[in-house]
Structure 1
Amino acid sequence: MSKPSRDRFDDVPRSSGRVGAHRAEAPGMNGWVVLLWSFVAALVLIIAGIFGSLVVMGRISLFPDAAPTSVPTPEETGVVDTSYSVMILNASPDEGLDAQLRDQLINEGWAADTVFASDSASQDFETTTVYYVADEDEAAAIGLAGLIGGADVQQSDFYAGQNDTGGKQLVVVIGLDRAGAAGETPAP
């Protein structure tokens, strides 16, 4: 076989070790560093996956709706109007609550012949309620409810046919929330 011809590189002294870039060591890739970066990458992917799942399931909203700004509505204040006749129905098992409330209203300025007290056919009415018929009676009903110590106020024409006076009438139905108060008499 023929011998290769000599060139200028043949005269370069041979040094110990490797020569050339393809024989150099891997630059700074330590095993622990690779493991740490793998762990960080896996953690980021897991967190992103959980967050993405929560968004898709609707548990997290990226752009929540703005909370509606609510303007407080003024609360209707009542007016105590003694020109109304008042029918009081005791719908609790305690006797005498209707008479007590009648006396209280008479002491507050109602005429004795415009306040009627009676027992109701029901004995299990939950909450003491003042009923009124027309919209213009609402303020008087709220005033009466406040006067008797707080009661619900509702519009209903159920008791409209029981008005013997022909004038404006409010109906108070005493409920179980006032039961047990029959033995107590208000201080003068």
Structure 2
Amino acid sequence: MSKPVRDRFDDVPRTSGRVGAHRAENPGSNGWMVLLWAVVAALVLLVVGIFASLMIMGRITLFPAPQESVTPMPEETGIVDTSYSVMILNATPEDGLDEQMRDDLVNAGFAADLVFAVDGSSDDFPETTVYYVEDADEQAAIGLAGLIGGAAVEQSDAYAGMNDTGQKQLAVAIGLDRTAAGSAEQTPEE
């Protein structure tokens, strides 16, 4: 038998223990790496899924609209000015409400000769309202509305012609909200 001819592959050192086309990785050496990547991928998918679910349900907003800062306006309390004359109109079917309110205002410091109580021309006025004529009277009207236990305040000259005292005047129209039937309708039943 003849000796084979030497070629370039004969000079390759034989330290690797592998010869030829066996270039595949050693099985089992990457098992831990595959497991690590699988755990990382599962965690990423879990976090993305939870985040997407919360966005769909509306519990998280990615880009919330900027909220306008609203400064609360202080509630006007008005001033109680006892120098005004007050005309009280009972615009309800219940008798005596105008006299009760007159007594309350006199006890609060209004002059008895400047507080007038009369029956109104209607008996179905819905909400107790304090009317004033001039812009300068608004604070006194708000103060009077607070004094009588809360009422609407409105600027109107409807009652300006009824003022024969020469004083600044406020008018209070007692509404159905001050009657026993009106109070029962406003309180929620449990």
| Coarse TM-score class (shorter-chain normalised) | 0.5 to 0.7
Within 1, Cα distance between the matches of 2:157 and 2:164?
15
Show structure 1 runs of 5+ residues with no match.
Answer: 181-188
Contact 1:81 1:143 in 2 (8 A): no
Q: Cα distance, 1:9 vs. partner?
A: 6.2
What corresponds to 1:184 in structure 2? Answer: none
Superposed counterparts of 1:54-69, under 5 Å: 60-62=61-63, 64-65=65-66, 67-68=68-69
Contact 1:93 1:123 in 2 (8 A): yes
TM-score, normalised relative to structure 1: 0.66
What corresponds to 1:130 in structure 2? Answer: 130
Within 2, Cα distance between the matches of 1:50 and 1:125?
54
What corresponds to 1:185 in structure 2? Answer: none
Contact 2:77 2:146 in 1 (8 A): no
What corresponds to 1:183 in structure 2? Answer: none
User: Compared with structure 1, are the counterparts of its residues 152 and 167 closer, same or farther at alpha carbon in structure 2 (3 Å cutoff)?
Assistant: same
- The percent of aligned pairs where both chains have the same amino acid is 50
What corresponds to 1:23 in structure 2? Answer: 24
Within 2, Cα distance between the matches of 1:140 and 1:79?
6
TM-score, normalised relative to structure 2: 0.65
Within 2, Cα distance between the matches of 1:139 and 1:11?
110
Contact 2:76 2:142 in 1 (8 A): no
After superposition, the C-alpha distances for 1:71-107 in whole angstroms (9 at most, x for unaligned) are: 654734313233x222111123321111222233344
Superposed counterparts of 1:137-176, under 5 Å: 137-176=137-176
Within 2, Cα distance between the matches of 1:169 and 1:24?
103
**SS, match of residue 142 in structure 2:** helix
Choose the corresponding residue for 1:46, options 29, 49, 60: 49
User: Compared with structure 1, are the counterparts of its residues 131 and 5 closer, same or farther at alpha carbon in structure 2 (3 Å cutoff)?
Assistant: same
Within 1, Cα distance between the matches of 2:147 and 2:14?
115
Show structure 2 runs of 5+ residues with no match.
Answer: 181-190
User: Compared with structure 1, are the counterparts of its residues 105 and 69 closer, same or farther at alpha carbon in structure 2 (3 Å cutoff)?
Assistant: closer
Within 2, Cα distance between the matches of 1:122 and 1:19?
115
Within 2, Cα distance between the matches of 1:155 and 1:29?
86
**SS, match of residue 153 in structure 2:** strand
User: Compared with structure 1, are the counterparts of its residues 164 and 46 closer, same or farther at alpha carbon in structure 2 (3 Å cutoff)?
Assistant: same
Within 1, Cα distance between the matches of 2:145 and 2:8?
117
What corresponds to 2:87 in structure 1? Answer: 87
CA-based RMSD of the aligned residues comes to: 4.0
Within 2, Cα distance between the matches of 1:109 and 1:145?
14
